[in-house]
Amino acid sequence: MQRKQIYTTVEKPKDLFKKCFDFTLADAIKEQGIYPFFHPIDENEGPVVSFEGRKVVMAGSNNYLGLTSDPRVKEASIAAIKKYGTSCSGSRYMTGTVTLHIELEEQLADFFEKERCLLFSTGYQTGQGIVPTLAQRGEYIVSDRDNHASLVAASIMAQGAGANLVRYNHNNMDDLERVLQKIPDTAGRLIISDGVFSVSGEIVDLPRLVELAKKYNARIVIDDAHAVGVIGKGGRGTPSEFDLVDEVDLIMGTFSKTFGSLGGYVVGEDKVIDYIKHNASSLIFSASPTPASVAAVLTTLKIIREEPQLGERLVANTDYVRQGLLKAGFTLMPSRTAIVTVLIADQMKTLHFWKRLFEAGVYVNAFIRPGVMPGHEALRTSFMATHEKEHLDKVITEFCTIGKELGVI
Ligand SMILES: Cc1ncc(COP(=O)(O)O)c(C=O)c1O
């Protein structure tokens, strides 16, 4: 008779947390004093912020029109807290809708010249609410390779539920056509792209994208997080910039940049917004934007409408720095928006450059892996309407001094 073999293991089964205990990269960078992330700001005036009591020119914020510190915006938030409290304590679906939400949805639909608007609690959740809700089993998501991480995550979520995800080379419309040609006629397709790409500040080639969407009967979502208040008529963003508002099916964005608050939105056709509203998991199962956040946006939206000179100043400020850095010999990523990204193309040099700028009183964002591909390491700067010339000159001067010392220029 054959004896049953009994297996015994001396070692315990694998610990899921092993990866966490083995993760040393952040500590190694901290030890060298060049860690560029999670530094707490202890006071924020907009163009100048304070880190541990030290004043620094902020050249890395998405507070493009400088409205987060506008007294009118602060007052509106305080008044909303007094009236509605600090939280809605529930999702829009259930007890979490207040009249302010409806008012803002109506005003944003009007501003973006679309039938209807739906608010979400963050821009990240907006993408999660649109993409997996619309692109279902067997249908296709066609995504730019450089889209924001939130759209990537939203697409992977949809893929997990059976949708197909295909990517095209960054802003390359020939490659988009190649990808569209391969999709079976029987499958629905959704093209998703940033309007203004968040790392480089480059603008999508929307006229050609729209042309291809029409030719291949695809629907379009544009994530205009970095475009509102910056480009388009009266700051209405990328579709408006190209006079293509009617041709873009859904425009989404965030309140965490120009709108000076927190939350997200999508605007589009009545029936499509209604479908998202009743099916999007990230809307139905998450608490609604706070009254203070919504009231802030109602006020910043009014300012954007009434004070177009802010957008003009933002463009002039950004252009001033762009020209200064180009003249000094830096390599910049292609952009005419509020983002000026300086290519360094070396991880350690990027971190050292970041630290030297910080010590000299200029805060920028260091983009290293996994945020960008190896060889594309960069310092991303972004500007505000409220920066004064002295702030901008400081940024240019410090970049030039340190750039020369580190052999970047
Ligand atoms: C293009 C883009 N989409 C979406 C988001 C996410 O927005 P939020 O900060 O509101 O979650 C961002 C923010 O970084 C972004 O840059």
Q: Distance between CA 253 and CA 62 in Å, rounded?
A: 13
5 CA distance to ligand 1 middle (Å): 56
163 CA distance to ligand 1 middle (Å): 23
How sure is the predictor about 5, in pLDDT bands with cuts at 50, 70 and 90? low
| Smallest CA separation from ligand 1 atom 16, residue | 198
For the chain, the C-alpha Rg in angstroms (whole number) is 23
**376 is known as an active-site residue:** no
Residues 98-122 have pLDDT tens digits of 999 999 999 999 999 999 999 999 9
Amino acid 299: pLDDT: 98
Question: Cα dihedral sign for 321, 326, 329, 331?
Answer: positive
Amino acid 393: pLDDT: 98
Q: Which atom of ligand 1 is nearest to the CA of 150?
A: 4
| Smallest CA separation from ligand 1 atom 10, residue | 123
DSSP-assigned states of every residue in 229-254: TTSSGGG--HHHHTT-TTT-SEEEEE
Give domain limits for the chain.
33-62+308-405, 70-306
Contact (CB, 8 A) for 182 and 204: no
Q: Which residues 6+ apart lie within 8 Å of 216 measured at CB? A: 177, 180, 181, 183, 189
Residues 143-179 have pLDDT tens digits of 999 999 999 999 999 999 999 999 999 999 999 999 9
Region of residue 262 (phi > 0: left; psi between -120 and 50: alpha; otherwise: beta): beta
119 token code pair = 């608010």
Q: Distance between CA 397 and CA 399 in Å, rounded?
A: 5
DSSP-assigned states of every residue in 9-40: -SSPPPPTTHHHHH--HHHHHHHTT---S-PP
The domain over range 33-62+308-405 is classified in CATH as 3.90.1150.10: yes
Q: Which atom of ligand 1 is nearest to the CA of 124?
A: 11
Cβ < 6 Å from ligand 1: which residues? Answer: 122-124, 148, 150, 194, 198, 223, 225-226, 254, 256, 264
Per-residue pLDDT for 245 more than 80?
A: yes
**278 is known as an active-site residue:** no
Fold match, 33-62+308-405 / 70-306: no
Per-residue pLDDT for 3 more than 70?
A: no
Peptide bond into 13 cis (omega under 30): no
Q: Distance between CA 404 and CA 246 in Å, rounded?
A: 48
38 token code pair = 């999670």
Amino acid 8: pLDDT: 62
168 CA distance to ligand 1 middle (Å): 21
Q: Distance between CA 330 and CA 324 in Å, rounded?
A: 9
Helix axes 291-306, 309-328, angle to 10 degrees: 80
Contact (CB, 8 A) for 226 and 195: yes
**257 is known as an active-site residue:** yes
11 CA distance to ligand 1 middle (Å): 44
Amino acid 24: pLDDT: 95
* Test site for ligand 1: of 143, 198, 341, most ligand atoms within 8 A of the Cβ: 198
Catalytically annotated residue among 121, 143, 198, 282: 198
| Smallest CA separation from ligand 1 atom 15, residue | 225
How sure is the predictor about 371, in pLDDT bands with cuts at 50, 70 and 90? confident
Residues 210-227 have pLDDT tens digits of 999 999 999 999 999 999
Residue 319 one-letter amino acid: D
Strands (E), 9-107: 43-44, 48-51, 54-58
Catalytically annotated residue among 101, 114, 226, 387: 226
DSSP-assigned states of every residue in 185-218: TTS-EEEEEESB-TTT-PBP-HHHHHHHHHHTT-
* Test site for ligand 1: of 128, 150, 337, most ligand atoms within 8 A of the Cβ: 150
Amino acid 6: pLDDT: 62
Amino acid 277: pLDDT: 98
Fold of 70-306: Aspartate Aminotransferase; domain 2 (3.40.640)
How sure is the predictor about 370, in pLDDT bands with cuts at 50, 70 and 90? confident
Amino acid 113: pLDDT: 98
Contact (CB, 8 A) for 63 and 384: yes
* Test site for ligand 1: of 148, 151, 226, 339, most ligand atoms within 8 A of the Cβ: 148
Tell me which residue of 375, 396, 274, 257 sits closest to 314, measured CA to CA: 257
54 CA distance to ligand 1 middle (Å): 28
How sure is the predictor about 373, in pLDDT bands with cuts at 50, 70 and 90? confident
- Provide the whole-model pTM: 0.95
407 CA distance to ligand 1 middle (Å): 33
Residues 29-58 have pLDDT tens digits of 999 999 999 999 999 989 999 998 999 999
Catalytically annotated residue among 101, 148, 257, 277: 257
Q: Which residues 6+ apart lie within 8 Å of 125 measured at CB? A: 264, 282, 283, 286
Q: What are the residues facing 209 on neighbouring strands?
A: none
The vertex-228 CA angle with 358 and 64, nearest 5°, equals 25
- Tell me how far apart the 2 most distant CA atoms of the chain are, in Å: 92
Q: Distance between CA 230 and CA 43 in Å, rounded?
A: 26
